[in-house]
Structure 1
């Protein structure tokens, strides 16, 4: 079938399936820690602490992603990207089917590593195919739509996973994921055309020296620290106790701060992607990155803003107990004393400013992300290695995604909660400054509008 629209919709569905599985595991991670009850162990005379084992629950996934980037990107350029996508989707189906039978930390870490390979392969191939199928002047628009599908999955997955677990346990959640993955696999098999491009050699070597990719990477390397710090610490700021510098909100209130960023990003990316196709991608990378940094600097001021704007010191949003008492499921937040269903609970004046700022972060990043991805897709397509181009994009991001959480934890404990956002904002601002200076110095003053 030659209908590009159907092919794009299949790729959007695949992007949705990947995002849904990824965010579900992030949401369920605390429950797995409680269920598996990890403890220190000795391997070959080396003692591995409980904390390190818990860290491996995430690090195993990240390390597998890092290792998988180069071979998967190379395979996508050397062979049929559709075939590679079908293989990693099949791996994903098997991986998510195995999660309900996990019975030890070792098995969980191993399956998480396989999940990292499946997530990385799916992301690389879908974005590469979207960039390859789309025409040059429309790439950011279609990439924005693909990202919107992923953000939609993140919203639905983050809201539903915890609730479904409380009601039904692990099994049904992963049955849903497997079904979505199978539908994505079938859609890819039937409706996505085979990829006939074949790139000989090792495209990474040439693309690594591409002037535009090098220029963009100077920004992306620093920006990875900014996004990882801010995105990770917004919910931490909302949820941890006041003694640790946080706002001590309940789970649903914390979820709203996360969903606000994802929702605005999802809604804006198709539109901002289309704008960047018409008005210059480098300009949107610069503007989005700068706005993200400035907004991050304001996040710690949300309690002050709430006070100045006169928001209430307490806000309890409830639903009267029309299904009161024993007719309500036990996992719902029901207050038997007031006979009400509590949706948010007590929050401080900082709540509305924090949700608003989180939404602004999503809008700012929606200007940057599709434009940045389209630039990588442009260079990869022109030099015959679009999958390798996206692979370089992933590798540049990795140092920030690994080091920033360690830096943020140290800043939070040793300095202050606010310092995490100040450092994160500073990374974004130094990133866009470096990008602008190199852009003007080596590509000319008009490059900001011409790229």
Structure 2
């Protein structure tokens, strides 16, 4: 394996560590809600409702991400990106080791904030280095592979989080995360070469006025509200109690709703990234965003879809006696083996449609994500400051990712669970509409196929 490929693989490993830690906490959110039992709280005479506290479980993470973007991106362009990545991964080892001490909503929100800095820094540096190492004609493909590594971690993290939580509680999960981040840190030390590019000044200023970045921003600003609401609330919808509008599924069932999106996204991104390298990027951004919005609108109808289609309320696998007698050791009496093994227990007919819709969300987003990232990498590489270009991309996302969880928490408690997905889908559809109008108005009628 040549040195260049080893560098890409070390970056994929860091992306894997980032994705594993991120999705584990997403999967565990409904259980932290049930364990910490947020209630109305009064601080300095101001009453904070339980819904807003639930929103802060996610917003504490995203607010810290927002604060970290500019200094981390600037440091990546001004200094050695490899060194910056190593520092951030080292901080991540400490942060994940702190999660087992969480005993209140306040401590959870604070440590989630530190996690936000780690996830943002790792993502910015790995994507910047991938975009910088790859040629323009293969950039979306390599970015798609990097994202696939993150999604692979998401799948493993979701499944292990759900099953380990039910078996051991929270503690063992974070020991695994610490070990994975430590391996990623070591891989970066050994295989990633120092980055010799140095950008003086403040590249954000020039890139913020880049016409293509401004056009993409018209979509991305609104789309952030959509993805944050939908991606955060699919597992919440699956896991919280029926009294709060959820389906009250167990850990493995909740994990499957998360894994379905990650798996389809992981499988498709290298392929869709290669297509966007060949056929243009803007049309993939438009098509993926529109499909995501339409699918999000359908999520609240999963119970009705399951009922109409007659899906089962319990998922089991039948173990025939002949198979059991052929495969089991002779010392184990056959009568001790159940004829039917329950996989997920009582779930309700909504389970299979919800998993299917989650998978479709992943397919839709796989068309949008590598194309969007490659456009930002193209502009950053051409104008100088690829880390700053990805930093601008992150900043555009931040208002939605900070505000949307608060909005979702309020909608969940004050309106309905379904309203979270209606609003999320609407944001995606208004985003692609404004993107198409601005693209054609300012860049010509052929821009959708030429970008």
Please give the TM-score of this superposition, normalised by the length of structure 2: 0.87
CA shift for structure 1 position 27? 3.6
CA shift for structure 1 position 294? 1.8
**Compared CA separation, residues 353 and 105, structure 1 to 2 (3 A):** closer
Of 260-269 and 57-66, more deviation after overlay is shown by 57-66
2:316 maps to what in 1? 317
Of 55-64 and 393-402, more deviation after overlay is shown by 55-64
Output the CA distance in 2 between the equivalents of 1:36 and 1:247. 19
**Compared CA separation, residues 357 and 346, structure 1 to 2 (3 A):** same
List gaps (5 residues or longer) in structure 2: 322-335
1:220 maps to what in 2? 220
Contact 1:321–1:341, Cα closer than 8 Å, also in 2: no
1:333 maps to what in 2? none
* Aligned pairs (5 A) from 1:407-422: 407-422=407-422
2:10 maps to what in 1? 10
1:294 maps to what in 2? 294
**Compared CA separation, residues 445 and 40, structure 1 to 2 (3 A):** closer
1:444 maps to what in 2? 444
1:348 aligns with 2:336: no
Output the CA distance in 1 between the equivalents of 2:319 and 2:417. 36
Give the aligned CA root-mean-square deviation in angstroms: 2.9
* Aligned pairs (5 A) from 1:151-190: 151-190=151-190
1:387 aligns with 2:387: yes
**Compared CA separation, residues 6 and 112, structure 1 to 2 (3 A):** same
CA shift for structure 1 position 349? 3.3
CA shift for structure 1 position 305? 3.1
Of 159-168 and 90-99, more deviation after overlay is shown by 159-168
Output the CA distance in 2 between the equivalents of 1:318 and 1:356. 20
Name the SS of the counterpart of 1:317 in structure 2.
Answer: strand
Output the CA distance in 1 between the equivalents of 2:186 and 2:125. 16
Output the CA distance in 2 between the equivalents of 1:253 and 1:305. 18
CA shift for structure 1 position 432? 0.8
Contact 2:207–2:383, Cα closer than 8 Å, also in 1: yes
2:121 maps to what in 1? 121
CA shift for structure 1 position 161? 2.0
Of 63-72 and 110-119, more deviation after overlay is shown by 110-119
CA shift for structure 1 position 96? 2.1
**Compared CA separation, residues 311 and 39, structure 1 to 2 (3 A):** closer
2:325 maps to what in 1? none
CA shift for structure 1 position 400? 1.2
1:134 maps to what in 2? 134
2:75 maps to what in 1? 75
CA shift for structure 1 position 435? 0.6
Output the CA distance in 2 between the equivalents of 1:246 and 1:169. 22
**Compared CA separation, residues 292 and 105, structure 1 to 2 (3 A):** closer
CA shift for structure 1 position 438? 0.7
1:425 maps to what in 2? 425
**Compared CA separation, residues 32 and 270, structure 1 to 2 (3 A):** same
CA shift for structure 1 position 224? 1.0
Contact 2:30–2:236, Cα closer than 8 Å, also in 1: no
1:405 aligns with 2:399: no
Contact 1:2–1:193, Cα closer than 8 Å, also in 2: no
Per-residue Cα deviation, 1:6-47 (whole angstroms, up to 9, x for no partner): 11111000000111122223344565667777788888x667
CA shift for structure 1 position 186? 1.4
CA shift for structure 1 position 111? 3.4
Name the SS of the counterpart of 1:312 in structure 2.
Answer: coil
1:327 maps to what in 2? none
CA shift for structure 1 position 247? 4.0
* Aligned pairs (5 A) from 1:17-36: 17-29=17-29
Contact 1:17–1:180, Cα closer than 8 Å, also in 2: yes
Name the SS of the counterpart of 2:346 in structure 1.
Answer: coil
Please give the TM-score of this superposition, normalised by the length of structure 1: 0.87
**Compared CA separation, residues 34 and 246, structure 1 to 2 (3 A):** closer
**Compared CA separation, residues 99 and 256, structure 1 to 2 (3 A):** closer
Name the SS of the counterpart of 1:316 in structure 2.
Answer: strand
List gaps (5 residues or longer) in structure 1: 323-335
* Aligned pairs (5 A) from 1:233-248: 233-241=233-241, 244-248=244-248
Name the SS of the counterpart of 2:344 in structure 1.
Answer: coil
1:271 maps to what in 2? 271
Name the SS of the counterpart of 1:345 in structure 2.
Answer: strand
Of 121-130 and 86-95, more deviation after overlay is shown by 86-95
Output the CA distance in 2 between the equivalents of 1:36 and 1:246. 18
Of 200-209 and 92-101, more deviation after overlay is shown by 92-101
Contact 2:27–2:235, Cα closer than 8 Å, also in 1: no
Output the CA distance in 1 between the equivalents of 2:35 and 2:347. 30
**Compared CA separation, residues 271 and 244, structure 1 to 2 (3 A):** same
Name the SS of the counterpart of 1:24 in structure 2.
Answer: helix
CA shift for structure 1 position 55? 5.4
